[in-house]
Amino acid sequence: MAPKRTKAARGRKSVTRKQLRVAPYFVSLIVVLGLVWLSAVASAGFTKFPTPKLGLDLQGGVTMTLKASLPNGDAPDPDRMEQARQIIENRVNGTGVAEPEVFIDNGRNIVVNVAGKDTKPDQLRQVGAPAQLRFREVLQGPQEDYTEQNPKDFQNSGKNSDDKSDSKSSDSKIGSSDSPSDSGSGSSSSSKPSSDSSSSADKNNGEDPAKENASIKKQRAAVYKKINEMGKKQDPKQKQKLVDIAKSFASQAASMAQQGQPITKDQIKQSGLMKTLKPFGKLKPDEVAVLPPSMQLYTPTIGCGQLNGRTPGAVAEVNEQVVACNRPSDAEISQAKKAKKPVPYVKYLLAKARVVGEDVSSAGVQSDPQQAGKFAVGLDFKSKSTKKWQSLANDTVGKKVAIVLDNEVISAPVTEQGAGSGGQVQISGDFSSDDANLLAEQLKYGSLPASFTVETIDEVSATLGLSQMKAGMLAGGIGVALVILYCLVYYRVMGLVVIASLGASGAILYPAIAMLGAQIGFTLTLAGIAGFIVAIGITADSFVVFFERLKDEMKEGRSTRSAVPRAWTRARRTILSADTVQIIGAIVLYFLAIGVVKGFAFTLGLSTLVDIAVVFLFTHPLVSWLSRFRLLNNESLSGLHTKRRNSPDAPAGAVTLSKES
């Protein structure tokens, strides 16, 4: 650089302005670029070119917004929202769509995004519904689960949702919390014809819940076939089909249970069925769901991991018998682990549901009248549903009634005499206040800790996505082209600097977006593209501020070389102030606004940040470097020279004195 200095200093006697050392700036820019690209490529796994994660409006898919509210209209607290998010995520996974995204937006909305074609919007719509709550008489069970399955292996997503839950099933009981006044005695027996199901329960054990459902039959046949093939593979010598073995075992076990001598664990061990029927343990939860209840219950290799992993709603059908498992609490699981015992899962065979969640009007925690310091859950039924409950309670005195939430038995208390006397009952047991709270909430909302309503649901077909994508690109292209054209006309050679700077911005932004997509799941939506396009103006404007300053300085007669540092000092301030205002706006928008706004604010803010980086690390050093050449002093090329209206060589001070004629 030394020779240039002497050359440029010509004509300026004693000025020894230290030149800006531009190399460090370019080096740091290259380092920044390198880092961003490296991390982008690394997030893409080094195998493919990093690409931004596209929003659903650009690639097609379904996005749904669910708004949470508590009965008093307030927003739930973050813990509840997270709990709800996990439950909803599990339900979405349960619908079998590929790679859903479920996240909390703005504190009280849960957004479900499912990309691609096979999005099942109708099923998605249901995920925000309160869980299906059913009251079913326990026909058979609890029966030990012999498989020791880990339920997590049977969930589609890695996350295990409902951590806390109680299964004080066997200890708890339902008693009347009414003053045992009228008691109504056996009264009811209700008009419901289904009320006799309990007495005829055993007879119905093997009842086929799908006798009228052709599609289930078909699915079942497919599963049977699969099982038989797996059985053949496992033991080619085995002549009998596995399904037949399981069927005959189930009916044998059922008849033994009927006689009051259920098959014991030892008997099963001796029979060798655990090994023979092993393929059943490999079925997916939804394959298990289509098997007849008796098979689900008695086949010793079908475990609660599979049963609890069934799609939510798999056992929601009111008029069918179903099999369901309990859900041991974390405490019980860790206890069992410590003792190196299997986790206490049990299966139940359950009768038709005679009371459902909609019959419950409210539930709340009460203190347990029989056990000091313990809690109970009080349950109110809607007045029109009271009869339903009374008939169930009166039919099941001394027996267990399972409270089933989605696929799982959350409690299976014994009905006490008098429980069916009114519209209120109390479920008591060895509840801590947390246990009781949870149960009460589950009874109130289903498993979701708040009620959710579908606010928006957008189904974007892949065609529409593609056309929006193209439109966004085209708009961006037109925007960039217009700005470049304008800058070239107006600033001439300096226009090239603008192009290079915009290029540098793009070179940082692209990998940044790709990386953010891979790292924090940032998706580029149409609104995001709009943010970029709007930001083109802001980015280019930083150059305008700088160049106009430069023009001012040069108007005063300075050479580019001396004008650049002076102009920069002043322009820098303006650029920073203006960008700060923009960034404040973007940040506030990002954190406070909902819906498409977020993507827009994010890209706008990001571009503004990158703009600052580019102006500081690239544009200014570049101009500074260029100013050492004669190029920018060329009046017709640089675009920085203003015409001097009096005489070209007049000192600047005189120029402005020209008076209008």
CA distance 635 to 643: 9
Among 504, 540, 622, 626, binds another protein (CB under 8 A): 540
Name the region of 98 (left: φ>0; alpha: ψ -120 to 50; beta: rest). Answer: beta
* Buried b or exposed e, range 115-153, using 16+ CB within 10 angstroms: beeebeeebbeebbbbbbbbbbbbbbbbbbbbbebebee
CA separation, residue 236 to residues 229, 277, 585 (Å):
10, 14, 71
- Comparing C-alpha atoms, which of 356, 324, 320 is closest to residue 194? 320
Q: In the bound complex, what is the minimum distance in angstroms from residue 542's beta carbon to another protein?
A: 10
Exposure of 103 in the CB half-sphere (CA atoms within 13 A): 13
Q: Quick one: 486 or 629, whose CB is closer to another protein?
A: 486
- Least separation, in Å, of the C-beta of 531 and another protein? 8
Rounded to the nearest whole angstrom, what is the least distance from the CB of residue 496 to another protein in the complex? 16
Determine, following the binding rule CB under 8 A, whether residue 527 of this chain makes contact with another protein. yes
Helices (H), 324-383: 330-338
**Contact flag: residue 16 with another protein (CB under 8 A):** yes
Comparing CB distances to another protein, the nearer of 252 and 456 is: 456
Query: Of 280 and 491, which CB lies nearer to another protein in the complex structure?
Result: 491
Nearer to another protein, 154 or 452 (CB): 452
**Alpha helices, H only, 326-448:** 330-338, 386-395, 433-445
Judged by beta carbon, residue 482 or residue 631, the one nearer another protein is 482
Q: Which residue lies nearer to another protein by CB, 125 or 278?
A: 125
Closest distance of CB 647 from another protein, Å: 15
Residue 579 contacts residue 508 (beta carbons within 8 Å): no
Q: What angle do CA 106, 109, 112 make, to 5 degrees?
A: 115
Least distance (Å) between residue 88 CB and another protein? 17
Alpha carbons 435 and 165: distance in angstroms, whole number:
7
Show Cβ contacts of residue 647 under 8 Å, excluding neighbours closer than 6 positions. Answer: none
Among 418, 551, 611, 625, contact with another protein (rule: CB under 8 A) = 551
Task: Write out the binding residues for another protein, residues 291-350 only, by CB under 8 A.
Answer: none
Which lies closer to another protein via its Cβ, residue 387 or residue 628? Answer: 628
Interaction between residue 526 and another protein (CB under 8 A): yes
Nearer to another protein, 30 or 462 (CB): 462
Of residues 345 and 600, the one with the C-beta less far from another protein: 600
Is residue 537 at the binding interface for another protein, with CB under 8 A as the rule? yes
Q: Find, among 372, 88, 320, the residue nearest to 212 by Cα.
A: 320
- Residues whose CB falls within 8 Å of the CB of residue 315, separated by 6 or more in sequence, listed in order: 134, 289, 322, 323, 324, 350, 404, 406, 407
The Cα–Cα gap between 482 and 181 comes to 85
Question: DSSP labels for 160-218?
Answer: ---------TTT-EEEE-S-SSS--TT----S-GGGGGGTTTGGGTT--TTTT-HHHHH
Q: Tell me the C-alpha distance between 198 and 351, whole Å.
A: 7
What character string, x for contact with another protein (CB under 8 A) and - otherwise, covers 34-73? -----------------------x-------x-x------
Chosen residue from 286, 555, 630, 635 binding another protein by CB under 8 A: 555
Q: Which of residues 87-146 bind another protein (CB under 8 A)?
A: 106, 121-122, 125
Which residues inside 608-627 make contact with another protein, applying CB under 8 A?
Answer: 624
Residues in 178-207 at the binding interface with another protein, rule: CB under 8 A: none
Q: How far is the CB of 491 from another protein (least distance, A)?
A: 9
Q: Tell whether residue 15 is a contact of another protein (CB under 8 A).
A: yes
Note whether 556 binds another protein by CB under 8 A. yes
Of the CA atoms within 13 Å of residue 531, those in its CB half-sphere come to: 27
Q: Does 4 bind another protein (CB under 8 A)?
A: no
Angle at 379 between CA 75 and CA 175, to 5 degrees: 155
Q: State the nearest-atom distance from the C-beta of 503 to another protein, in Å.
A: 16
Closer residue to another protein, CB minimum distance, 243 or 554: 554
- Residue span 642-661 as binding mask against another protein, x where in contact by CB under 8 A, dash where not: xx-x-----xxxxxxx-xx-
Binding residues among 434-493 for another protein as defined by CB under 8 A: 453-464, 467-468, 470-472, 474-483, 486-487, 490
User: For residues 104 and 655, which CB has a smaller minimum distance to another protein in the complex?
Assistant: 655
Q: Does 14 bind another protein (CB under 8 A)?
A: yes
| Inter-axis angle of helices 560-592 and 526-555, nearest 10 | 150
Closest separation between CB of residue 162 and another protein, Å?
Answer: 27
Binds another protein (CB under 8 A): choice among 7, 12, 159, 384: 12
Q: Is 269 in the site for another protein (CB under 8 A)?
A: no
Q: How many residues would you count in the chain?
A: 661
Residue whose structure tokens are 């029979």: 271
Unique residue bearing structure tokens 């290079």? 500
Minimum CB distance to another protein smaller for 476 or for 503: 476
* Subset of 565-594 contacting another protein (CB under 8 A): 565-566, 568-570, 573-574, 577-578, 580-582, 584-586, 588-589, 592-594
